[in-house]
Structure 1
């Protein structure tokens, strides 16, 4: 193999123009007096640090500098004196102020880059660091960003089928000189993602952990059910950019040089994947902004249609998807991934967006007849709840929003979908009731709303529950052994005042429960169990406390 085929030299000085080719959509180039200025390092600038000396070839990311303050011009002049390659400031909306900074940068002889409004500092710094530390492009006949061409070149050199994937195992490009592929490879290419069961198996045996923990080419010999295959991670600046996978064509071994080819290809792929990700992230940010505007309402359906391809004047519906308990970032990412992979979806376009309780699914281009469109959304929601619940460690619940005539009205569907999801989460439905409209769970929605209002409502007197909690503490979940007094009272009220069933729920002997209920609950609380209003108030207060604890 030609030694320069994959640009094996990572030491060649990069330029500002080359850097912007990789991460251009993340920044606005306000001034670029020296496009070919070398770029050697990245520095996050802190104005409280002591002044540094020469910064030849440095990109200064000025997170703490206000671009509207005089400190911004001072930094540009100091950067020019230190021969810094560029200064990155946050976005500037004032045209006159931007012109003043642009002129200061030109006089200083340093580039001025402004962070794109949709990009956060962590994402921008990560992308810039990866771009600075990745090999410089050049030395190949593959144009920058041509992942299909890169996959084809690798496939020809290793003699196998190639997929280039993002960190979430979605296929970005693939190539094979023969259609004689193994089943897993064929499914991966046809569906655009690695099959979920295959990904779980690689998680269990530690293969993915090993892949991302090094730059080594991982090699697995052919087995009874799988061909010879190799994989290598593509990383730069500590950022996971993607991976390259090679599988042997049925009946043919991979070339002896395949390991070397993949090792060098991973270095070359870094710049191509950076180029791809920065542009994809820019498009995705614009799409998400337009989708949020529509779902929050009022938003321009035509704008979202232009970004997404979802018809603006066709029926649509929103589904809210969630799981019981707190939803942290990890659970939300897993749920979003599962929903994205769930196919087929009805209509002529859809979007999946993260939300507070899980994810939102916008189904667009549904059938023109309202009844048919509602049936499409309901069928998808029931399949989604059933299949994802089988594959998850917790039940997956789906709130169905009503069908709306146009994309402009999606916010109303979203509101009802989230109310329905809230009712499902509150009511803890069984397997047959994991997907519902707000009408189907109206009582649970109303009670949940009432309990949330009751929790924040100051009461002018001490109630029986207040007195009980003052002496014993707030209620815990019912448990076997020694339940606390609020839990005993809650079990008693849930069983409509029947001591025996309440004792059974808590795993206590009935005689033991009856005795403890008198001494540990009724005596300190002063509750009159013969007063229906007192029982109702106590039940509502305990339910409100438990609901708040479950929400947090």
Structure 2
């Protein structure tokens, strides 16, 4: 898993990660080397990384890699051109391994020891956030401003620590650390374990539940004062919830996380509670922006599907997403029948479809564009398999989730450079073939070309008022004034290809009644339904309001 950003220095990254998590063991090139990209790798990834002749990532996190493997990899890295080597490696075995330290030094790679109890997923997430943070650097004056528009969570944690006294941790609703201020020797076990991605002491968590702290955090945005617990070596704390302002659709604001302030060697500053309340409001805006803004990966996938402008460098996007450019692919578009009430409904649908698509193909990609969800299946197994999976999924969503979906498939897609045009093809089908019939809910352009072309012709005519026949208005006015059904009668007559008996049976009227109605239509509109041209024109004009009702 690779992440690339505009970068930070190794020293800035280590300072932000904190000595609780990491320790710089050796830096042959100094600690000011630039770190712009990071990769989390295991044993199976090492040979692939060194075999490639392209430049490597700036930083690697060695997950579960044994000493011998790490040494071989570092020695191989040292044989590459300097510009194609990584800048730093994070390793849990580096503290105890002289061989790893020697190999890293020989390769000219900085070696960073990671705490044994640190969780790799937590470390990787923190490194990624720190690198992304480097995109927007602030001036010293802005760094002191709690209301700076580009303040991030790490910057906010540091500012709160400076203004309130103590050490700050910002956590999500599941108590995962999102950001924190620098620690010192006064950090207690609860803070250390939280930063390492571990659960705090269970006895203390049980006490917090007994005191009703978590319930209070869900119900109020007031600062809660938590006394020290000497027996468990837990220091005095203040905590406040981070709450998204209510948008009128929920009875209570959504809880986005919490801010914890641990007392250090000195008491909290007098206005610490006020600082925390202000920080809570700022954190809510930061997290809300993050939740509302698409991630880098989301943007890349959307660009691959042809959104967000033209001129997409498909090979670069494919490389960033770790998928191959060549080889046949399939694009499947999903749309809900009926009106989609909110973007939340679309997001919920997208999450469910993403899980199913990933189960079908691990390398699948899912994108949300408007109220539709698109799935890319690289290197599909067979046309039959894709069709069967899509039909099964549509049926499953209806029976188990009461969601009626309409799906269109573009297959085969020659390679990833054609994904955007495949999405356009899928949209043409979805725009033109909305149906409630179970058999027609999954289709392709080839299977529904008549419906697609006819719908697009009607759209073209509908967009040109000068192509609308004004004579039909007299028919509509007659029906409305006399509570008649001449429009329905002539539409049924045309659908039955002029067969009066079949049309009359469908309308449940006598054939002579229908013949009278058809003559009235001819008189009112001024057409001759025995004339093929008049029949064709009337059918097109009558189809326009039906088409408009579907859009």
Q: TM-score, normalised by structure 2?
A: 0.50
| 1:448 Cα offset (Å) | 1.2
Q: Residue in 2 aligned with 1:546?
A: 546
SS at match of 2:331: strand
Q: Is 1:323 aligned with 2:333?
A: no
| 1:401 Cα offset (Å) | 1.0
SS at match of 1:401: strand
Q: Residue in 1 aligned with 2:199?
A: 152
Alpha-carbon contact 1:399-1:435 (below 8 Å) kept: yes
Which whole-Å CA distance do the structure 2 matches of 1:295 and 1:281 have between them? 20
Which whole-Å CA distance do the structure 2 matches of 1:303 and 1:278 have between them? 27
Matches within 5 A, 1:207-222: none
Distance 1:542 1:156, change over 3 A: farther
Structure 1: which 5+ residue stretches go unaligned? 1-20, 43-58, 60-87, 89-112, 116-123, 163-210, 217-231, 245-266, 475-480
| 1:509 Cα offset (Å) | 4.8
| 1:399 Cα offset (Å) | 0.7
Matches within 5 A, 1:205-354: 235-238=243-246, 240-242=254-256, 284-296=294-306, 298-327=311-340, 329-330=342-343, 331-354=345-368
SS at match of 2:305: helix
Give the alignment partner of residue 414 of structure 1, picking from 406, 409, 423: 423
Q: Is 1:445 aligned with 2:447?
A: no
| 1:271 Cα offset (Å) | 9.4
Report which structure shows greater RCO (CA 8 Å, sep ≥6). Answer: 1
| 1:424 Cα offset (Å) | 2.9
Which whole-Å CA distance do the structure 2 matches of 1:130 and 1:320 have between them? 42
SS at match of 1:403: strand
Structure 2: which 5+ residue stretches go unaligned? 1-127, 171-176, 181-193, 210-216, 223-239, 247-252, 259-277
Which whole-Å CA distance do the structure 2 matches of 1:547 and 1:485 have between them? 19
Q: Residue in 1 aligned with 2:531?
A: 531
| 1:530 Cα offset (Å) | 2.5
Matches within 5 A, 1:110-149: 113=150, 139=167, 144-145=178-179
| 1:439 Cα offset (Å) | 0.7
Which whole-Å CA distance do the structure 1 matches of 2:530 and 2:242 have between them? 71
Q: Residue in 1 aligned with 2:84?
A: none
SS at match of 2:412: coil
Distance 1:400 1:499, change over 3 A: same
Q: Per-residue displacement from partner, 1:234-272 (whole Å, max 9, x unpaired)?
A: 62455635479xxxxxxxxxxxxxxxxxxxxxx999999
Runs of 4+ in 1 over 6 A off after TM superposition: 21-24, 126-137, 211-216, 267-282
SS at match of 1:299: coil
Q: Residue in 2 aligned with 1:424?
A: 433
Alpha-carbon contact 1:131-1:271 (below 8 Å) kept: no
Alpha-carbon contact 1:311-1:348 (below 8 Å) kept: no
| 1:321 Cα offset (Å) | 0.9
Alpha-carbon contact 2:445-2:452 (below 8 Å) kept: yes
Which whole-Å CA distance do the structure 2 matches of 1:458 and 1:363 have between them? 42
Q: Work out which of the two has the higher radius of gyration on C-alpha atoms and give 1 or 2.
A: 2
| 1:353 Cα offset (Å) | 1.9
Which whole-Å CA distance do the structure 1 matches of 2:414 and 2:525 have between them? 55
Which whole-Å CA distance do the structure 1 matches of 2:312 and 2:366 have between them? 17
Which whole-Å CA distance do the structure 2 matches of 1:489 and 1:390 have between them? 38
Alpha-carbon contact 1:316-1:404 (below 8 Å) kept: yes
Give the alignment partner of residue 144 of structure 2, picking from 37, 49, 53: 37
| 1:382 Cα offset (Å) | 1.8
Which whole-Å CA distance do the structure 2 matches of 1:159 and 1:512 have between them? 84
SS at match of 1:342: helix
Stretch of structure 1 that moved more, 134-143 or 490-499:
134-143
| 1:274 Cα offset (Å) | 8.1
Q: TM-score, normalised by structure 1?
A: 0.50
SS at match of 1:549: helix
SS at match of 2:296: helix
Alpha-carbon contact 1:485-1:521 (below 8 Å) kept: yes
Matches within 5 A, 1:67-78: none
